Structure 1
Amino acid sequence: MKHGYKRVCVSVHMRTDNSSDTAQFDSSSKSHSRGRMVSHMFSNLLLLWLLSHDLHITGLTYDASKEQSWNNQNLYSIPVGLDVRLRRLDLSNNFIRQLHTLVLPYLEQLDLSTNQLDLIAEGAFENLARLEELNLSRNALNNNLGNNTKALQSISTLKSLDISMNSLSDDAVELYLRNKSSLAQLKMSGNALRRLSHSLFNESKGLRAINIDDNLISVIEQGTFEPLSQLEILNLAKNNLVYICDFKLHKLKYLNLSRNSVEFFITQEDDQLYRLEILDLSFNKLLYFPIVPKMNHLRYLYLQNNMIGTLNSEDIMISETNSLYNEIINEKIDQKNILHSNWRLMPLIYIDLSYNHFRSFPGETLSLLSSLETMNFSYNCLQNITWTIRNYSDSGYRPQLFFPSLKHLDLQSNGLVYISLHFLGALSQIETLNLQDNSVQPCASVELFRSSYSTQQINFNTSCVAFGQLRTLKHLNLKENNIKMLRPNTFQGTSLVSLNLARNSHMVMHEDALEGVQTTLQSLIISERNMTSSDLSLPCLPVLTELKLSNNSLDVIPSSLSCSPLREIDIRNNVFMTLNHSLIHDLSVHLNVMYISGNHFNCCDSKWLTILNEFRIKLPDINNTECFTSVSNVVMAEYLKNPWLYCLIHTNTQEIHFGQMFIAVLFAFVILTIFILFTRKFCCTQRSFIV
């Protein structure tokens, strides 16, 4: 097989010998720099002596926390009269175009980011003897390179330099990095770099962290990172790198190559220890798993948004990867599985393989990761997870598939229908399983299932998933699976703490479906199921603290919940007119939050609301909740201000109690009688006056 990659490979390489060629520097530039240093040495010493003498005479003391911010002040020049004792000065987000000499002998941090700076006087930094951090990002440093670069060469104490987003070219960056032996952190993001030369960092050998993301880099010359024996962090994201075929940075801990066009990542096998802990290859064009260093500390591997799995079967991918490795390192093709031999030693605890092209689960490769705790395999093309381990001998021997440390598995949005019992049995420590947006149908309890089918039938002739196999399972998400039926004891054998059954609109839930997990279940989501109260039957759940029933057609909350110490309940967007005030009273003992909007509550049948109000239960959506009277709808928050008066005015006459009607009629009769008697008496009195 001929891949034809060798001529365009990029080496991310650090050799341990000193045999490579080093760049030669311009001797006249060095002489000029030395001359300027000598010419200013005496004046600088004199200035510092005068300042210290003045401070001593006036009795001023050095304030270690002195700082001043002129951030976002619409400045066009450096303010005059700056305190010479300043340690930190922030001049960011202004309109400063030129920088002249600063006399701030104690200054350690200077921020000039986001200005219009394009000219720095040659001696601008000569009096900043303690400057360690300089931020010049988002300016126009690509102009006046002669003056600007000479100004920066006068700072020999810098530990952190940010020259991001200045439209700098390869040559310009190399000029800015001269005389930076003390530099530990360098940021060059968002410039116009295309090639990293082997001489780029020759005067910055102390670098520990480099950010060169968001450039146009397509070539990294061999030996580019050779001087950087202390480099631990390297960010090359958002560039144009295609192949990484000679990774040799032994002391690097973090490498970000995301958002390039990388098709493969290969490390030539050796016995040296690599300190790499985090490798980010996301958003690339990987066709293969990366071949990582054999001896490594890799713990986090990001491979999401690639093209891994395009080769369909795991067998083909493994074979192609090993063949590619042999071709690149120019070795004869043999039977050695370099991919697996290296992955077997990888102490990985997290891997992200989401948004790839897997049609089958690569169990043989992934089961080698004995320390793996979290795997994200969402948004792939799986339909079934079956036993696909290759035979290793004529006897038909297959190694045991086993994930001894895996606790969190995300399989969302794959189109899964079937997961084999062999695979479930390999998840001996699983705690969280996300199966949202698949087509999984839960089996009945494992005992019933096994009694009905032979082992062979279980493996090949069924399409349901037996969750009872997962003894350690605590969190299960079955949202949006188009589940038809939850049979009795479906989750028996698990240790479920949370269960999400939302968006299974046609699901029939047997009254004993939650048997076996009543004493462990703390969170239950049954939202968006289009169910009525007659469809919902819940057992006593003595440790349930969260219940979500929103977006259904419920008008009654199950009375069995009175034994649950609910802290949060969500009944939004149902058809409730009232709530059982006795049940609400029982729940209020533990309840903290309740969501109620989107129902059709009767204002004058709301004793439950009074109870919630008295117990000071939080109702976050009370201002969006309406209730109705015979006259109109009312915002419930307004109703709560004076509920009795409001209902006295607006109560529907058909709903008035008989006793209240009798009292009202009697009251009217008494008033009328008194009025008649008074009228007669008044008339009689008038007649007597006339006579």
Structure 2
Amino acid sequence: MVRHMFSNLLLLWSIGHDLYITGQTYQEPKEQSWKDQNLYSVPLDMDVRLRRLDLSNNFIRQLHTLALPYLEQLDLSSNQLDLISEGAFEKLARLEELNLSRNALNNDVGSNSKALRSINSLKSLDISMNDLSDDAVELFLRNKSSLNQLKMTGNALTRLSHNLFKESKGLRAITIDDNQISVIEQGTFEPLSQLEMLNLARNNLAHICDFKLPQVKYLNLSRNSVEFFVTREDDKLYRLEILDLSHNKLLYFPIVPKLNSLRYLHLQNNLIGALNSEATMVSEANALYSEIMSEKRVRKNNLHSNWRQMPLIYIDLSYNHFRSLPLETLSRLTSLETLNFSFNCLQNITWNVRKDESGFHRQLFFPSLKYLNLQSNGLAHISPLFLKALTQIETLNLQDNSVQPCASVDQSTQQINNTSCVLIGQLRTLKHLNLKENNIKMLQPNTFLKTSLVTLNLAGNSHMVMQRDALEGVQKTLQSLVISEINMTSSDLSLPCMPMLTQLNISNNHLDVIPSSLSCSPLTEIDIRNNQFVSLNYSLILALSVRLNLMYISGNYFNCCDSRWMIILQELKINLPDVNDTVCFERDGNIAMTEYLKDPSGYCLFHTKAQETHFGTVIIIVLFVIVILTVIIIITRKVCCTQRSFIV
């Protein structure tokens, strides 16, 4: 040890002596990258003042002593490193970040782990993708009291013991995803009082029976085989803000801590809802809690009581097995702003809630919900009582359902109870509505009256009839309108003046004329692809070009020689991303629009002269006919006069 100390002092004296002799002042340490250089060994001529050294993506197999006293960050990832000499890091007194991922450290665990013990100031360590076993990892984590970030992705861990982190109690972030962990011993993470982020995704965990990590803020348990998540009710304040339980086998909602800070809950791709009714699911979840906690007496509704206090703003329940919307459970989340309920099995949203003492259905509310995604559920009916509960809704995604919008919000009680349509007009705060691919038959007048729509997507309703006043009430607020893939002709399309409209998509129809009413819209983007346009109204395009930035035009059959509109777009440098895929026709056949634009007059010169020649010929023929007729009339009159004189 004395010998090592002497060599370090000698090195530091040498550096100081060189600076004194040369008269140089101390400069900021450098950063050196030898990444992707096909190196088989560490270069020898490196600047001793280096703070950051990148040797990643090479072919280095062995690592020997590095004499870099100022080095703070070292990246040796993606090499073939299988042997690190015991004294390799002894002279790296300031090393804080070490990346050894994607190597072969499992080949000589004894020597490699001993080398790491000499680093006393290490704060961040990445030993991912080294095929390390449970015992090997324990050796690598010896003497790591300063460590606060650890990554062990993609190793061969199967069990986490309570001894694993006993010398690394300052850890703040641990990533152990993509291993084979099926067992976590009690006391493994509990002593880590500063732990905030824990990633255990892509393992083989089956149950979280008694969650006891109040210090953790982010917990990722996605892509395991978790069937339930239960927390014992106590008075501890849990700091957990983000919980990811997606891609598991959950049958129930998780029972979260009583006092929690949870804001983001990911439950997508599970089996929740497979038990059919909400009442059954809640009842069985509470029974499970009592069984796990060995509580014999009947307890209160733990699931609902804990959810009521949860400050959740986001929940993802997509790709589950719900046949009905769990209204009572979700209504407990009074802070909820975003609900993703897409890709479930809903056909109807009925107001299936318990009745009050008077026998009437209770009115629940979602007072903070702004974004609701119900895409791909097969929905045909949505209860007006549910729509009434969405007091702050701004975005509603109903894509790929069977929703038929009602004509107006001002309806009789009989029509409100009618299951054949949905009262979109009840949603006074609605700004963004997606009705794509709903097989809508008729968009009736005043459908969106009293809403505040800014964007509206009606694409993919291939047999939809859009009546004249369908957009009544939102023509002054709409900024984006999509009416593509509707098989609509120009005679079917009637648009009002929309003074706020900036984006319009009328692609994939049978249109041959752009509605002239758009001249009052400040369009910046327009899509007219795959229609039947031969030409575009020059005056309209000239008016739109004042603000137009982007236009899609391919898939039409334009007339090259009737394209002044195209020349104005080119002169004003309007962005036409698909102009290379656009063709036009002239007398000799079809040509690429880009070729035509190189010399517009050249392609249509003959055509113009032919027109002028044809016009001149017609004039001459007309004059000739007039002269002949005049001569015939004069001769006829003379003959008639001569005959009369003879008779007399």
Q: Whole-Å Cα distance in 1 between the matches of residues 401 and 420 of structure 2?
A: 13
- 1:458 paired with 2:422, answer no
Counterpart contact for 2:455–2:479, Cα < 8 Å: yes
Secondary structure of the residue aligned to 1:85 is: coil
Map of 1:359 onto structure 2 = 323
Deviates more, 1:644-653 or 1:70-79: 644-653
Matched, 1:402 2:365: yes
Aligned to 1:24: none
Q: What SS does the corresponding residue of 2:580 show, helix, strand or coil? A: helix
Aligned-pair CA distance for 1:658:
4.7
- Aligned-residue offset at 1:85: 0.6
Amino acid at match of 2:409: V
Match of 1:482 among 439, 451, 456: 439
Aligned alpha-carbon RMSD (Å): 1.8
Aligned residue number for residue 564 of structure 1: 521
Deviation at 1:510, TM superposition (A): 0.4
Paired residue for 1:164? 128
CA–CA distance in structure 2, aligned partners of residues 348 and 317 of structure 1: 20
Change (3 A) 1:657 1:428: farther
Establish whether residue 532 from structure 1 lines up as the match of residue 489 from structure 2.
yes
Separation in 1, partners of 2:116, 2:162: 21
Q: Which residue of 1 aligns with 2:534?
A: 577
- Contact kept in structure 1, 2:399 and 2:435, CA below 8 Å: yes
Give the partner amino acid of 1:547: L
2:634 maps to none
CA change 1:247–1:94 in 2 (3 A) is same
Q: 2:236 is matched with which residue?
A: 272
How many Å separate the matches in 2 of 1:576 and 1:538? 18
Change (3 A) 1:400 1:59: farther
Report the 3-state secondary structure (helix = DSSP H, G, I; strand = E; otherwise coil) of the residue aligned with 1:577. Answer: coil
After superposition, residues 197-276 of structure 1 pair within 5 angstroms as: 197-276=161-240
Query: 2:341 is matched by which residue type in structure 1?
Result: F
- AA of the residue aligned to 2:174: I
- Matched AA of 1:52: G
CA–CA distance in structure 1, aligned partners of residues 613 and 119 of structure 2: 90
Summarize the alignment of residues 281-320 of structure 1 with structure 2, pairs less than 5 Å apart.
281-320=245-284
CA-CA distance at 1:570 after TM superposition: 0.5
Residue 662 of structure 1: how far off its partner (Å): 6.0
**Distance in 2 separating the partners of 1:496 and 1:117:** 60
Structure 1 counterpart of 2:368, one-letter code: S
Partner of 2:507: 550
Shift in Å, 1:206? 0.6
Q: Deviations over 1:515-553 (max 9, x none)?
A: 000110111000011111111111111111111000011
Partner residue, 1:350: 314
Change (3 A) 1:656 1:344: farther
Shift of 1:43: 3.0
What letter corresponds to residue 554 of structure 1 in structure 2? L
Q: How much has 1:297 moved relative to structure 2? A: 1.2
CA contact (8 A) 2:405 2:443 kept: yes
Secondary structure of 2:50's counterpart equals coil
Residue 207 and residue 657 in structure 1: after superposition, are their counterparts in 2 closer, same or farther (change >3 A)? farther
1:659 maps to 2:605? no
The separation in 2 between residues aligned to 1:657 and 1:470, in whole angstroms, is 64
Question: Which amino acid letter does the alignment assign opposite residue 174 of structure 1?
Answer: E
Shift of 1:598: 0.6
TM-score when scaled to structure 2? 0.93
Write the distance in 2 (CA, Å) between the matches of 1:649 and 1:55: 82
In the alignment, the residues of structure 2 paired with residue 64 and residue 505 of structure 1 have an alpha-carbon distance, to the nearest angstrom, of: 66
1:124: which partner in 2? 88
Equivalent in the alignment of 1:631: 588
Partner of 1:175: 139
> Does the CA contact (< 8 Å) of 2:363 and 2:385 recur in 1?
no
- Number of equivalent positions: 622
In 2, Cα distance between equivalents of 1:399 and 1:567: 47
Question: Structure 2 residue aligned with 1:618, among 562, 566, 575?
Answer: 575
Matched, 1:439 2:402: yes
- Cα deviations by residue, 1:8-63 (Å, 9 ceiling, x for unpaired): xxxxxxxxxxxxxxxxxxxxxxxxxxxxx555334323333333333333334443
**For residues 651 and 575 of structure 1, what CA distance do their matches in structure 2 show?**
24
Distance 2:565 2:118 in 1: 76
SS in 1 for 2:37: coil
2-structure distance, mates of 1:260, 1:652: 76
1:66-145 aligned at under 5 Å gives the runs 66-145=30-109
Paired residue secondary structure (2:504): strand
The answer as to whether partners of 1:323 and 1:333 remain within 8 angstroms in 2 is no
Q: What one-letter code is carried by the residue in structure 2 that aligns with 1:659?
A: F
Matched, 1:417 2:380: yes
- Secondary structure (helix, strand or coil) at the match of 1:295 reads coil
Tell me the CA shift for residue 610 of structure 1.
Answer: 2.0
Give the aligned partner of residue 626 of structure 2: none
Q: Which runs of 5+ in 1 are unaligned?
A: 1-36, 667-691
User: For the structure 1 residues 333 and 288, does the alpha-carbon distance in structure 2 shift closer, same or farther, using more than 3 Å as the test?
Assistant: farther
Q: How far has the Cα of 1:80 moved from its partner?
A: 1.0
Deviation at residue 270 of structure 1 after TM alignment: 0.8
Corresponding residue to 2:546 among 589, 606, 611: 589
Q: How far apart, CA to CA, are the structure 1 residues paired with 2:452 and 2:239? A: 38
Post-superposition offset of 1:660: 5.4
Q: Compute the TM-score of the two structures, normalised by the length of structure 1.
A: 0.88
- Write out per-residue CA displacement over residues 319-365 of structure 1, whole angstroms, 9 at most, x where no aligned residue: 00000001001112424000011111111111111000000000101
Within 1, Cα distance between the matches of 2:242 and 2:20? 52
- 1:115 Cα deviation (Å)? 0.3
Asked if structure 2 preserves the Cα contact closer than 8 Å seen for 1:630 and 1:652, the reply is no
Once the two structures are superposed, residues 431-476 of structure 1 have per-residue CA deviations (whole angstroms, 9 ceiling, x without a partner) of: 10000000000001011x22xx43xx623x3221001100000000
Structure 1 Cα separation of the partners of residues 192 and 450 of structure 2: 55
Give 3-state SS (helix, strand or coil) of 1:375's partner.
strand
Query: Which residue does 1:193 correspond to in 2?
Result: 157
2:427 to 454, 466, 470: 470
SS of equivalent residue, structure 1 residue 142:
helix
Q: Secondary structure at the match of 1:464?
A: coil
The answer to which structure, 1 or 2, has the higher relative contact order (CA under 8 A, 6+ apart) is 1
Cα distance, 1:661 vs structure 2? 5.0
Question: Equivalent residue of 1:320, what SS?
Answer: helix
CA distance in 1, matches of 2:286, 2:510: 58
Distance 1:65 1:375, change over 3 A: farther
Q: Partners of 1:538 and 1:362 in 2: how far apart?
A: 40
1:129–1:323 CA distance, 2 compared to 1 (3 A): same
Aligned pair 1:155/2:119, yes or no? yes
CA–CA distance in 2 between the matches of 1:178 and 1:652? 91
What amino acid sits opposite 2:169 in the alignment?
K
